[in-house]
Amino acid sequence: MLSTGALRAHLLAARLAGPVATSREESLRSYRLFAARDPRVMLGLDPEWGWGEGDLLRLMADKCGVSADPAHVSGPDVIDPERTVAALEAFAGRLREAARARSPVLFGTGHPHRLLGFYAGLAEAMSAAGCVVLTPAQGSSVDMATRFGVRTYTIEYVRGVALVREPGAQVPGSATGVHTHSPLPVRLALGALAEAGGPLPDLVVGDHGWVCGAGQLGVDAIGLADTDDPALFVGEAEGRVAVAVPLDDAVRADYYRPLTRYVLGRASLTERQEWP
C-alpha cells in the first residue's frame, strides 16, 4: 500500500497539488461565470444558495487551499496537498462502503484522455468485490452544446467507464473520447436505467457533469475536481456531492496511477491488473 507520505510527495512532484498548471486567471473566470449561473460551469448543478464571487473564493480556499485574497489575480493556482489527501481518504471510505454493500456503481468521465485509467482501476476492483458496474445507454446518442454549436456524440464504455465520443471516430475500446463538462450523458444513462426498471446506481464516480448531474438528481456521487471546477465543491457544501477531491485533473494519465493504488488500499480493495 502506498503510504500517505509517499502519496503527498507524489502529488507535489507530479503537480497534482501544490502549484498546479491551472492558472489563477482561469479559476477566477470560472468563479465569475458560476456566480452568474453560466451553464458552461454549472455542470448540471442548480445551487440552492446564492453564491457570489467572494463566497466562491472563500469556499475554494477552504476546500482546495487556493489563495483567499481577491487581489491575487495571476500566476499558477495552488492546491493544498493535505486537503487532497484528506479528500482521497473520504473518497476511499465511500468506495469501501459501496463495496461492502455490493452496491451497483456507475463510473463516467469527461476527461477520458487523462482520467480513464484512474476510474477503470477502481471499476475493475469494485466489480471483483461483487458490485455491479453499470453500463447503461451504451451506444446511445446525446446532443451537446460545444463552442462549435450543438454536436451529436455517442456514449460508450471502456473498462467499465462511460465516456462520450464522436460516432465512428475511434475503434471500440479506444481510450480516446471527448473532453466535456456536460451533465447530459449521466442524465441519459440514469434515464435508461429507470426506463429498464433498474437497478439504479447507489454511487456515481467520476468528474464534471457526471458527478454534478448525478448529485442534482439525488444520486450519491463522488469525484475529482480542479480549482476551476467550483460546481463540485458547491455541490459538496450543499450536500448533493458526497466527496469532491481537489487536484489538477489534466496532468499525464500515468501520474494518476499511484492515486488508484492509494485509494484501493485505503478502501481495502485489490488492484486487479496492471495498466497497459
For 89-128, write each residue's pLDDT tens digit: 999 999 999 999 999 999 999 999 999 999 999 999 999 9
CA distances from 40 to 32, 122, 227 (A): 12, 28, 15
- Give the pLDDT confidence score for residue 177 in this predicted structure: 87
Sign of CA dihedral 53, 251, 210, 123: negative
Is 61 buried (19+), middle (13-18) or exposed (0-12) by CB count in 10 A?
middle
Query: With 50 as the cut, is the pLDDT of residue 275 above it?
Result: no
Q: How confident is the model at residue 170 (pLDDT cuts 50, 70, 90)?
A: low
Q: What pairs with residue 205 in β-bridges?
A: 107, 222
Contact 101, 275 (CB under 8 A): no
Contact 223, 243 (CB under 8 A): yes
Question: Angle of helix 257-266 relative to helix 4-13, nearest 10 degrees?
Answer: 160
For 16-29, write each residue's pLDDT tens digit: 999 999 999 999 99
- Mean pLDDT over 178-198 rounds to 95
